[in-house]
Structure 1
Amino acid sequence: MTATEIVISFFVVAGGFLSLLASIGLIRLPDVYGRTHAASKSTTLGVMFIMIATFLFFLLVQGEFVGKILLTIVFVFITAPVAGLMIGRSAYRTGVPLWEKSKQDDLKKMYAKKTKQT
């Protein structure tokens, strides 16, 4: 096994592991806020690692530079966390309750002030 194959294999396995963690988080976490956290963080890194492995495979093994894969990595890096943030914010603003064992609600004071001003 060459060094190139080892590096590519590492990225594929790490990406698959992070995607597996995200899937477990979606099933096991108790509320929408934890689930969006698992989906946005772990899945973003998992997809990015797999796309890096794909880019390296085409570059180092096939000898082709595929810029579209780099653009995919950039767009996933930018859009997935923002989408998770927006889903969590929308859920909070529409009144989706936190998990009953949650001890701290950092946004409660901020949104209480905004509703008093308007």
Structure 2
Amino acid sequence: MSVLSLIGELLVLFGTVFYLLSTLGLIRMPDVYNRMQTATKSATLGSLGVIIGTGIWALGEGFSVAWLTKAIVIAAFLLLTNPISAHALIRAAYKSGIPLWEGSVVDKYKEHLERKKKEEGEQE
């Protein structure tokens, strides 16, 4: 076993730990907004660990550099798309009227919408 293989396996283990944390977050969080935030962040980090770890492991096992290159491209794609898709889902949930958890202290999006509506009213 080479050092690269060991590093790859450790990264995959790191990623699976974050998948576990993501699952716990889905169970423990009180509302859809907190669940999405927790799941998106930890699942993204878990996916990065597994994907990059697999690429490094493949390099250590004698596969071509193309494996690592593909893993990096996939990881970059995930880093760009996961937050955007989570934002779109959370925004759709908010606009469809799913309430915030009663323990939520701040609703910045509501403040933004009220400010925007007020500015539009002043322009008319």
Question: Shared topology, TM-score over 0.5?
Answer: yes
Aligned to 2:23: 23
1:68 and 2:70 are equivalent in the alignment? yes
Letter in 1 for 2:117: T
Matches within 5 A, 1:75-94: 75-94=77-96
Larger mean Cα displacement after TM superposition, 104-113 or 25-34: 104-113
**Residues 5-26 of structure 1, C-alpha deviations (whole Å, 9 max, x = no match):** 3312220111000011111111
State the partner residue of 2:112: 110
**Stretches of 4+ moved more than 3 A in 1?**
none
Aligned residues: 118
Native 8 Å contact 2:5 2:59 kept in 1: no
d(CA) in 2 for partners of 1:69, 1:4 = 15
Out of 16-25 and 55-64, give the one that drifted further: 55-64
**Corresponding position: 1:10 with 2:10:** yes
- Higher-Rg member (1/2): 2
Contact 1:39 1:84 in 2 (8 A): no
Deviates more, 1:57-66 or 1:74-83: 57-66
1: distance between equivalents of 2:2 and 2:58?
15
Percent of paired sites with the same residue = 34
Deviations 1:12-61 (A, max 9, x none): 11100001111111111111111111121000010011001110011121
Aligned CA-pair RMSD: 1.7
Q: Is the 8 A contact 1:40 1:84 kept in 2?
A: yes
CA contact (8 A) 1:30 1:99 kept: yes
Partner of 2:101: 99
Work out whether residues 4 and 59 of structure 2, in 8 Å CA contact, stay in contact via their aligned partners in 1. no
User: Which residue identity lines up with residue 99 of structure 1 in the other structure?
Assistant: W
Check the 8 A contact 1:55/1:69 in 2, yes or no.
yes
TM-score by length of 1: 0.89
